[in-house]
A and B are shown apart, each in its own frame.
Chain A
Amino acid sequence: MNLLTQPVGLTHYLIVGALLFVTGLVCMATKRNAVGVLMGIELVLNGANINFVAFGSKYLGTAHQCTLGLDGQLIALIVIVLAAAEAAVALAIVLSYYNNHITVDVDKADELKG
């Protein structure tokens, strides 16, 4: 089996998606910087997006079976837009937190009062 001559299948995309998802998860779990956690979330969302697009794609060996079709792309689109919204709010929270505490360490964020 030669990697370069074989056409890309759904599996390829799923592997990439899984890897991004897991790295995002690990990133969220290990980073102490709030912005770092946010980056983990972005990675997770992208991993999921890759799966959506791949399942909806006509070119990845699923053409004859039941695919997500355009729905996959639409869901990915919605995820991207929501990710933008989520990032805006999360950053606003981080900045607000930073203004009040002069730190972005999530481990120190243990009080509810702002």
Chain B
Amino acid sequence: MAIEKIGRNPVEQDVYTDEMLLNMGPQHPSTHGVLRLLLRTDGEIVLEATPHIGYLHRCAEKIGEKVTARQFIPYTDRLDYLASMNMNLGWALAVEKLLGLEVSKKTQHLRVIMCELNRIASHLVAACTYGLDLGSFTPFVWAFREREKIVNLFESVCGARLTYSYLTVGGVTADLPNGWLGECEGFLDQFNRSVDELHALLTSNAIFIRRTAGIGVLSPEMAIAYGCTGPVLRGSGVDWDLRRDGDPWYTQMYDGYEFDIIAETNGRYPNYQDYPPIPSVAVLGDCWHRFYVRMLEVMQSIRIIRQAMDRYSSADGEVGGPVKIKEKLAKGQVYLETEAPKGQMGFMVVGNGTAIPWRTRIRSSSFCNLSVTSELCRGCLIGDMPAVVGSLDIVLGEIDR
């Protein structure tokens, strides 16, 4: 492989230096948990990056075969602990599909509110820790301030601030408390301004653009070949979102909602005039685009939540409660993927007529997204490593399960 091929980095090799094996992690500030990247470097140039995972393995799938379907909900919280609501939803929908249990419309709208709120929270963490990876500390605190408000909303709903276990098989654990919708409305009203602040600090910052544009370019073909999903896939310009394109059992939740799938088509994003322009140095599929897609998806989530709140308050009927804890599962198998903030989260559950699933399997979006790391990092600089890994937005709890 010639030097031209290692890409856009203007670094030439001038001295015969030793290759160095470098352990980035598992205790490293920018690997987002306990990821270990084994780097083979020549000076500052990364020749090869091999992710080593498994430091957070907790046998989640095996546990799923030892407890009943409803008892497994708290374990799903701990998969992607930054988007527990979406994890709950994925498992709940899969089990409900196996049970053939359809929840009420009102419950569905409530679930949409929660999932989209949690998507905002997850994307905020992704965006702010990305700033941290690039050495900018302030957006981290600003984004966490906003996330804190979402977490407060969740806390008043279910009492927990990280592991909610709120969406459960059969519905939700409890209906919304009084006045919650007003609080949520208040949050959304002031949230636009905070997103603009983040755009100013990161998206349109010259240094941020120089650090991310053109780095870690993931072509659409490669993204599809590696099974990348979520913002990573859409950042490469693939118009694919399970909320629109997924299993009907899942997409019926979003029936009639107006929202855009954030993916670049013909060099433009939906509603592009409302957001900072795409810098000329950015290449489709680079770190900047992945970041940008997340920032724009946050705005779409706000749209969805506003619609969902209207529908929730106008919907008749009751919100569904959880099923019996030892609800017997039907015989058969169900595999359902949902659009979690980090990508497609798939749950497979095989029932054999007892309350405890015979088989539980989880398809992790971060796992597939992480697998492109070695491809993206080949030939980049050590300074680009946090930029690339951070833009994939991985959560080790989900990868290691």
For the complex, is B15 an interface residue (Cβ under 8 Å from A)? yes
Closest to A98 in B: B16
Contact with A along B1-39 (1 / 0, CB 8 A): 000000000000001100000000000000000000000
Q: 1/0 per position for A91-107, CB-CB distance to B under 8 A? A: 00001001100100000
Residues of B within 8 A of A98 (CB): 15-16
- In the complex, A102→B15 CA distance in Å? 10
| Prevailing SS type, chain B contact patch | loop
Alpha-carbon distance between A95 and B16 when the two chains are bound, in angstroms: 8
Q: Chain A binding site: helix, strand, loop or mixed by DSSP?
A: helix
A99 to B15, CA, bound (A): 6
| Count of interface residues, chain A, beta-carbon cutoff 8 Å | 4
Q: Which residue of A lies closest to B15 (CB)?
A: A95
Closest CB in chain A relative to B3 CB, distance in Å: 15
B16's closest neighbor in chain A, by CB? A99
Interface residues of A in 13-60 (CB under 8 A from B): none
B18, closest chain A residue (CB):
A102
Which chain B residues border A99 with CB–CB below 8 Å?
Answer: 15-16
List A contacts of B16 (CB < 8 A). 98-99, 102
Q: Report A-chain residues with C-beta under 8 Å of the C-beta of B15.
A: 95, 98-99
Whole-angstrom CA separation of A99 from B16 in the bound complex? 5
Q: Least Cβ distance of A61 to chain B in Å?
A: 49
- Measured between alpha carbons, how far is A102 from B16 in the docked complex, in Å? 8
A59 to B15, CA, bound (A): 47
Whole-angstrom distance between the Cβ of B20 and the nearest chain A Cβ: 16
* Least Cβ–Cβ distance between A70 and chain B, in angstroms: 41
Q: From residue B258, how far is it (CB to closest CB) to chain A in Å?
A: 63
A98 to B16, CA, bound (A): 8
Q: How far is the CA of A95 from the CA of B13 in the complex (A)?
A: 13
A99, B18: Cα distance in complex, Å: 11
Instruction: Give me the interface of B with A, judged by CB distance under 8 Å.
Output: 15-16
Leading 6 A-B pairs by shortest Cβ distance: A99-B16, A95-B15, A99-B15, A102-B16, A98-B16, A98-B15
What are 6 A-B interface contacts by the 8 Å CB criterion? Answer: A95-B15, A98-B15, A98-B16, A99-B15, A99-B16, A102-B16
